[in-house]
Structure 1
Amino acid sequence: MRDLVQTIATCFEQVALFFPGGDPKAQASFEKRAVYLDSRTYSRELLADTLREYHLNLGSSSETLKMIEELRNKETLAVITGQQAGILTGPLYTLYKAMTAILLAKEQREKLGRPVVPVFWIAGEDHDWQEIRETYLLNSQGNIVPCLLPGDGGGKSIGHQKVPSWETIETQLLDMPESEFRSSVITKCRQITEQAENLTQWFALTLQWLVQKWGLIFFDPMIPQFKQLASPMYEQILKMHGNVRDALAERTKEWVDLGFKPQIKPTGGEVNLFLSVPERRAILFREESFYLRGQKKTWSLDALNQLLTGNPDSFSPNVVTRPIVQEYLLPTLAYVPGPGELNYWAQLGEVFAKLGFIMPILYPRLSAVVLTASWQKYLKRQGLKLEDVYSGLQEHRNRCIREQDMLNIDERFQRLRNQIRKSYAELKPLEDIDVNVNKWLERNEAKVKYQLEYLERKIWQAQRKRCKDQLSRLQQLEDGITPNNSRQERVLNPLTFVMRYGHSFVDRVSEIPLGDFDEYPILM
């Protein structure tokens, strides 16, 4: 599959059809988008009133409340990003998304000469429990350990899930490394956990604590006023579900023809909305009737619209229509996606058009790898580069073990094999004694070879134990930089580094330059 971020960074014209908001590297795209947004209207007073009440309940900073007040101004635009409400904010890329929105909003505020505010859309309507139920940190030994939520979610939206007891979380944080910040971070986590009423709020409070001085606005789409505000868009999606499917299929085919792998893979009949009754289920359409996935009961369009009028809280968008609802509710100058999101947004341009919108500018999130001072020192000492760690260190492990082999283990075993082979060759004349001698010799030699291989494995195991300190350091390096054989930003939780460096770590994230769309090393 082609690297979409690099394609956008180096030759946007190749994918321009799929991103009608324009080239994120060109300031002209932002200026053109601002003119387009000025032609549209939004329920700014209701948005600001509802957001203010929500953020007062979160105990948000004066900077955030100032940003919210700016939304009342018809000139104010928004840079939006979003993510599922992961445990303790989820992986590092959540923080990187938030910071990208903050930095881009600040940059465009200066360049456009008008208010631009950063907004984080919390996908609390999502019911994918496996997506949010665990996060990973590095323990005091430098090894990766999980922090898990109990239960299975029961098919309910994340925003309807209760926060676990603090004791459940605390027991999983006790093995974090000692530092001057560890105690205060755990105390703050406890305070937030006990304050939050649901997993969405828990997420918002935790991320807000990390970025509070930059005024990030949190948008919870499950707030009743926002549901009511979005209901005309849900009605339109229900009415035009066939057009939406066709538009998605058309653009997806073009995307595949260009050499990319689609993220959204419809199975047929999707209306691209969910209905919670109470379990959240996809609405499908077949044989002139609507129904819910896994159920036989059918619904008419009138029945769904009546339910929407009386209970808009029960409806929610899916991956196809969530960006549309966002576009309908907020003056979106740009959206900050991760690589996977960027791929599925590329399939949505024609869906936007069918519903009367132009897709916003897609600005890829910051990408970074944190390198502690000890990791930097060890990389230098071993003559390793970051690319070597990404490629895997097994070859380097083997080399380290062999470099400490002062007894020539392989040579000794090879000499023994040669001696055994020679000895059995000398027994070959005995085959004249009995027809079965050849078979006995072959079986016996195979057993000897098996035992020799077993002995060789045990010797090398013992040799590896003699190198355990060096192998442990290599494992710590992989756990820190490529945990679970993946990119650090996709696995490790920000608290891994906040516990070690305090808020200075978040400050370092805020210093990452915008614009090159490449992985940036954060040297701590």
Structure 2
Amino acid sequence: MRDPMQTMATCFEQVASFFPSGDPKRQESFAERAEYLTTRNYSRERLADGLKAYHEFLGASAVTLQMIEELRHKETLAVITGQQAGILTGPLYTLYKAVTTIRLAQEQREKLGRPVVPIFWIAGEDHDWLEIQKTYFLNSAGKPFPCTLPGDGEGKSVGSQPVPSWEVLEDQFREMPDGEFKTYVFKHCRQFLDQAENLSQWFALTLQWLLKKWGLIFFDPMLPEFKQLAAPMYEQILKMHNDVREALAERTKAWVELGFQAQIQPLGGEVNLFLANPERRAILEQERVFYLRGQEETWDLDALSALLAQAPERFSPNVVTRPVVQEFLFPTLAYVPGPGELNYWAQLGQVFSTFGFVMPILFPRLSGVIVTPAWQKTLVKEGLTLENVYQGLGSYKEGLIRAQDSLDIDERLQRLRAVIQSGYAELEPFEEIHANVHEWLIRNQAKVDFQLEYLKKKLWQAQRKKCSYILQRLQMLEGGLTPNSSRQERVLNPLYFVMLFGDGFIDRLMELPLTSDFREQEVLV
């Protein structure tokens, strides 16, 4: 399968028809998008009022509150990103999304000469419990260990889930190594748990604390005032679901024909809305009859529309329609996706057109790998590159162990094995004594071979122990750069690095340039 991010970076013209607002590497794209948004109208006052009340509850900084006030003005635009409400902010890539959004908004504010505000859409309506249930830190041995929420989510939206007790987290944090700012981080984690009423609020409070200096606005789509604002869009989605399905199918077919993967794979009958009843379930339609996946109760269009008018808080968009709800609510200059999101946004251009919208510019998030001084020292001392680590250090470690073998373990054992085999060959005449001697010799030799293999294993274990210092450093390097044999940004929690380096870690991330190749950047801290 082709990589859409690489294609966007190197030959955008090949995918230009799937991203109608233009190449994110060209400033002209942003200028043209800004002009288009000037022709659109939004419920700015109601939106700003709701955001102000929410952020006063969060205890937001004056910078953020000023950004919200700017959103009231017609010339103000937004750069938006989003992610599920992962515990303790979730993996590093969530923070990278937020950093990219802030940096891009700053850059475009300067280049366009008009207010551009950064917004983080908290996807608290989602119910993918497994995605947010755990997050990973490193213990003192450099091995990843999970911090996990109890329970199974019961199929309910993440934003309706209660926060855990501090005792649950504190017990799991016992594996955490000491760091200069560990007490500082724990203090704030406990404070946010006491303040938050649900996982979405906990997420917002934690990420807001990390980015307090830069005015990031948080949007929780589950708040009643925002549900009321989005209700007209839900109504359109409900009535136009057949058109949406056709539009999605058309763009998906063209995307796949170009050699890309279809990230959204409908099962059939989707209305592209969910209904909480009380579990969050997809609304499906067949022959003008509506029902929830896995349930028997049915509605006609009028009944479902009446329910929407009465209780919009029970409805929420799915992956296909959340972007158009965002477009309905916000003057979105650009959206900051991850690699997987970029794939499915490419399937949505015609869906936007169905509602009379134009998809925003897609600007891929920063991708980074944090390299601590200790890891950097190991890389330099061993002459390794990041790519070496990504490919796996198994062969390299085995080579180091064998290079320290000054006694030729394998060769000496092989010579012993040859002597033993020769000795058993000399015993073959004994087979004339009894018919069973042949089998006895074979079984006896097999036992000796087993003992030789055992001896070999123990000798190499001892040899590895002699190399334990360098092996431990390499283990810590792999655990930090490729935890759980995956990319660092997809596993490790940013608070691990805040415990080690304090707020300076966040400041370092905010210095990263917005590059045009969208490749992973090495971040030395």
Band of TM-score, shorter chain: over 0.9
Distance between the aligned counterparts of 1:81 and 1:429, measured in 2? Answer: 82
**By how many angstroms is 1:390 displaced?**
0.5
**Identity rate, percent:** 68
**By how many angstroms is 1:432 displaced?**
4.8
Secondary structure of 2:119's match?
A: strand
**Which residue of structure 2 lines up, in the alignment, with residue 522 of structure 1?**
523
Answering whether residue 83 of structure 2 is matched by residue 83 of structure 1, we say: yes
Distance between the aligned counterparts of 2:271 and 2:448, measured in 1? Answer: 67
Distance between the aligned counterparts of 2:16 and 2:74, measured in 1? Answer: 29
Secondary structure of 2:42's match?
A: coil
**Which residue of structure 2 lines up, in the alignment, with residue 185 of structure 1?**
185
Distance between the aligned counterparts of 1:234 and 1:491, measured in 2? Answer: 34
Secondary structure of 1:356's match?
A: coil
Distance between the aligned counterparts of 2:174 and 2:346, measured in 1? Answer: 43
Secondary structure of 1:384's match?
A: coil
Distance between the aligned counterparts of 1:492 and 1:466, measured in 2? Answer: 31
CA displacement, residues 401-460 of structure 1 (integer Å, 9 cap, x when unaligned): 112222211111111221222223333344455555444443433333233223222222
User: Which deviates more, 328-337 or 281-290?
Assistant: 281-290
**Which residue of structure 2 lines up, in the alignment, with residue 501 of structure 1?**
501
Distance between the aligned counterparts of 1:252 and 1:165, measured in 2? Answer: 44
Distance between the aligned counterparts of 2:521 and 2:369, measured in 1? Answer: 6
Answering whether residue 278 of structure 2 is matched by residue 278 of structure 1, we say: yes
Q: Which amino acid aligns with 1:136?
A: Y
Distance between the aligned counterparts of 2:289 and 2:125, measured in 1? Answer: 25
Distance between the aligned counterparts of 2:454 and 2:288, measured in 1? Answer: 68
Answering whether residue 316 of structure 2 is matched by residue 316 of structure 1, we say: yes
Contact 1:97–1:337 (CA under 8 A) maintained in structure 2:
yes
Q: How does 1:470-485 map to 2 (within 5 A)?
A: 470-485=470-485
**Which residue of structure 1 lines up, in the alignment, with residue 382 of structure 2?**
382
Q: Which amino acid aligns with 1:456?
A: K
Q: How does 1:233-252 map to 2 (within 5 A)?
A: 233-252=233-252
Answering whether residue 51 of structure 2 is matched by residue 51 of structure 1, we say: yes
User: Which deviates more, 10-19 or 501-510?
Assistant: 10-19
Q: How does 1:68-467 map to 2 (within 5 A)?
A: 68-433=68-433, 436-467=436-467
Q: Which amino acid aligns with 2:377?
A: K
CA displacement, residues 456-507 of structure 1 (integer Å, 9 cap, x when unaligned): 2222223222322222111111111111111111111111111111111000
Q: Which amino acid aligns with 2:126?
A: D
Q: Which amino acid aligns with 1:347?
A: Q
User: Which deviates more, 149-158 or 97-106?
Assistant: 149-158
**By how many angstroms is 1:84 displaced?**
0.3
Contact 1:177–1:500 (CA under 8 A) maintained in structure 2:
no
Q: Which amino acid aligns with 2:302?
A: D
* Equivalent residues, number: 524
Q: Which amino acid aligns with 1:450?
A: F
Distance between the aligned counterparts of 1:306 and 1:261, measured in 2? Answer: 38
Distance between the aligned counterparts of 2:389 and 2:73, measured in 1? Answer: 49
Unmatched 5+ residue regions in structure 2? Answer: none
Aligned-pair Cα RMSD in Å? 1.4
**By how many angstroms is 1:301 displaced?**
1.0
CA displacement, residues 285-304 of structure 1 (integer Å, 9 cap, x when unaligned): 12431111111121111111
Contact 1:338–1:364 (CA under 8 A) maintained in structure 2:
yes
Distance between the aligned counterparts of 1:87 and 1:5, measured in 2? Answer: 28
Secondary structure of 1:42's match?
A: coil
Distance between the aligned counterparts of 1:425 and 1:19, measured in 2? Answer: 76
Distance between the aligned counterparts of 1:444 and 1:13, measured in 2? Answer: 72
Alignment CA distance shift 1:420-1:80 (3 Å): same
Distance between the aligned counterparts of 2:55 and 2:186, measured in 1? Answer: 23
CA displacement, residues 170-209 of structure 1 (integer Å, 9 cap, x when unaligned): 2222443333322112111111111111110000000000
CA displacement, residues 55-106 of structure 1 (integer Å, 9 cap, x when unaligned): 0111101110110001111111000001000000001111110010000001
CA displacement, residues 94-127 of structure 1 (integer Å, 9 cap, x when unaligned): 1110010000001001111111000000000011
Distance between the aligned counterparts of 1:480 and 1:68, measured in 2? Answer: 38
User: Which deviates more, 67-76 or 440-449?
Assistant: 440-449
CA displacement, residues 499-523 of structure 1 (integer Å, 9 cap, x when unaligned): 1111110000000000231111111
Contact 2:138–2:496 (CA under 8 A) maintained in structure 1:
yes
Secondary structure of 1:521's match?
A: strand
Contact 1:231–1:312 (CA under 8 A) maintained in structure 2:
yes
**By how many angstroms is 1:271 displaced?**
1.2
Unmatched 5+ residue regions in structure 1? Answer: none
Distance between the aligned counterparts of 1:321 and 1:108, measured in 2? Answer: 27
Q: Which amino acid aligns with 1:520?
A: Q
User: Which deviates more, 186-195 or 133-142?
Assistant: 133-142
**By how many angstroms is 1:245 displaced?**
1.4
**By how many angstroms is 1:353 displaced?**
1.3
**By how many angstroms is 1:231 displaced?**
1.0
**Which residue of structure 2 lines up, in the alignment, with residue 39 of structure 1?**
39
Distance between the aligned counterparts of 2:243 and 2:382, measured in 1? Answer: 58
CA displacement, residues 279-332 of structure 1 (integer Å, 9 cap, x when unaligned): 111111124311111111211111110100000000001111111110111100
Q: Which amino acid aligns with 1:176?
A: M
Distance between the aligned counterparts of 1:439 and 1:142, measured in 2? Answer: 51
Q: Which amino acid aligns with 1:139?
A: N
Contact 2:263–2:340 (CA under 8 A) maintained in structure 1:
yes
Secondary structure of 1:193's match?
A: helix
Secondary structure of 1:218's match?
A: strand
Q: Which amino acid aligns with 2:142?
A: G
**By how many angstroms is 1:2 displaced?**
2.0
Contact 2:288–2:301 (CA under 8 A) maintained in structure 1:
no
Distance between the aligned counterparts of 1:233 and 1:490, measured in 2? Answer: 33
Contact 2:210–2:503 (CA under 8 A) maintained in structure 1:
yes
**By how many angstroms is 1:262 displaced?**
1.6
Secondary structure of 2:203's match?
A: helix
Distance between the aligned counterparts of 2:289 and 2:217, measured in 1? Answer: 40
**By how many angstroms is 1:226 displaced?**
0.9
Distance between the aligned counterparts of 1:472 and 1:358, measured in 2? Answer: 53
When normalised by structure 1's length, the TM-score is 0.97
Q: Which amino acid aligns with 1:319?
A: V
Contact 1:23–1:29 (CA under 8 A) maintained in structure 2:
yes
